[in-house]
Amino acid sequence: MARFLKSQSLLPQYLLLVALFGLTTETFCQTVFSHVKYTQPAGWTEKMVGENKYFFPPNADDSKVLAVAIISPFTVQAADWKKAFELYLRGRIRSDEQLKYFSQVAELRSSCSSDPMLAAVMDVQTAEGLAKRMYLAFPGSQKWGVLAIVTGNESVMKKYHADLNSFVAPCLKADVWTTYQMIRTEEAAATGKPATEPATAPSASESAQAGKGRIRAMYVANILQTVANTYTYGYSYKNFNTFWTILDNGKVYFGYPPENPNEFDFDAACSKPGECAGYEEKNGQLLFTWKNQSVAMPVDAPQIKLAAAYSGQSGPTVFRKIASESGLRLQGAYRRKAFVNLNSAVASGNVSGETLFVFSKDGKFSVYGWSGFTATSKGSPMSSMQAPGTIAPPPPPAGVGVASSSQDMRYGLYEVKNNQLILTYSDGRREQFFFFRYPGEEEDVLAIGGVNYISAED
């Protein structure tokens, strides 16, 4: 422990220093010289080293490679906060260390001050190895508080992300681990190297489990269907994807693929009537029946064309082979619009919505959502079919309407792995969706969660 704490301003050289800050004018962010108010998570121990205060996680092994520190405050003497902060951080590099990388100083939103929080990452070569350091500053009047998260192992930092969030929760309304990754993606984009440690390879038992009902090939067909309106005359259009998943156990699964097809128990799914059909492989072709049509397709065919299979379908059914997607970097905006007709005998209206994904090649994304509802009464008379003696409310006069709408915007990091789009939001929440680029329209159409998003730049 003495070796771990030997430096007044830094932990030992083999540690990676990551600084994240948050100040509130009343509860957390007040700075009085080197003092910062904070929320200490349960189980963490506290120790003063010189003028700096350190906190260590409960596990002894983890405390060797992870700590949180309140270090000397950042003094603001110029209007250019970002430049002053960079000079402050560069001044913390010791004479026996060599700077290898310094990110741009980023601004982050703070709920504790109208001024932004500042963040930066730098890599320093020490005698013990390469140290990664990330700093965040929490706004004050003349002195800004500095809270450092020090790690020599990113996986340990990720393990304690909930505890680390406790330190900055009053000010930084985002997940600490995700914020760290987002800042480091700038380095990854510049160098072409991974920003964080590579994921651990699956064990033999995990691979065996994933191999249950293994996927041989996947196909998708986009269907445009004309559907009669329920309450009014006329028709509406319905557009959807339908799938084939060809397995290596002699079956074809017809249901919608789950978020991670490679870990789905297709054997269990095929026990349900109508979900699967058996196929025969003969003379280089796969033979099976789908929607009362006999299918004979060459093994690994890029596409297969069939007759229309749904009532009101426009055009033939064309299944195209889905390509394997991993490690893909996306660039651009992709939109999906939705519309539901609510017209009836007594009212007219609709529900409409739009979702827009924006991706960048540095691994960041944002998603914008909008939905709206409108309805207007037609003022129709009470039905003459009403049974005698029935008491019913009078219909509204013509033209009475209601409307509502909602909007949402989120952002974070994305990853494409094994035909999954894995989204990690800035608040730490994660979602994953079955993902592929639509065959033949790879640059213009992304399928996310089974539905198609069209390039907004067309």
Does one domain contain both 57 and 95?
Answer: yes
Which residues touch 72 (CB under 8 Å, ≥6 apart)? 9, 34, 51, 52, 146
Supply the pTM of this predicted model.
Answer: 0.51
CATH number of the domain bearing residue 410? 2.40.128
CA distances from residue 47 to 1, 2, 5, 44, 52 in whole angstroms, order as listed: 11, 12, 9, 10, 9
| pLDDT, tens digit, 9 for 90 and up, residues 387-431 | 454 444 444 455 444 444 445 688 889 999 889 999 988 888 888
Evaluate whether 110 touches 23 at the Cβ level (below 8 Å).
yes
The reported pLDDT for the residue numbered 115 is 80
Does one domain contain both 22 and 151?
Answer: yes
Asked if residue 3 belongs to a domain, the reply is: no
The reported pLDDT for the residue numbered 87 is 83
The reported pLDDT for the residue numbered 183 is 79
Does one domain contain both 261 and 281?
Answer: yes
Does one domain contain both 156 and 287?
Answer: no
The residue among 321, 349, 364 that closes a domain is 321
Segment 51-60 long-range contacts (CB within 8 Å, at least 24 positions apart): 51/8, 52/8, 52/9, 54/5, 54/11, 55/167, 57/160, 57/163
The reported pLDDT for the residue numbered 206 is 38
Residues lower than pLDDT 50 in the chain? 1-35, 187-211, 346, 372-375, 380-387, 389-396, 399-406
Does one domain contain both 41 and 144?
Answer: yes
The reported pLDDT for the residue numbered 56 is 92
| pLDDT, tens digit, 9 for 90 and up, residues 136-174 | 788 877 788 888 888 878 888 888 888 888 888 777 777
How far, in Å, CA of 32 to CA of 370, rounded? 44
Does one domain contain both 351 and 272?
Answer: no
Asked if residue 119 belongs to a domain, the reply is: yes
Asked if residue 298 belongs to a domain, the reply is: yes
The reported pLDDT for the residue numbered 371 is 54
Query: Can you name the residues that pair with 415 across neighbouring β-strands?
Result: 422
Does one domain contain both 28 and 139?
Answer: yes
Asked if residue 165 belongs to a domain, the reply is: yes
Domain count, the chain: 3
The reported pLDDT for the residue numbered 233 is 60
Asked if residue 393 belongs to a domain, the reply is: no
CA-nearest of 417, 410, 402 to 355 is 410
Q: Which domain range does residue 84 map to?
A: 16-191
Query: Can you name the residues that pair with 46 across neighbouring β-strands?
Result: 55
Asked if residue 391 belongs to a domain, the reply is: no
How far, in Å, CA of 328 to CA of 98, rounded? 34
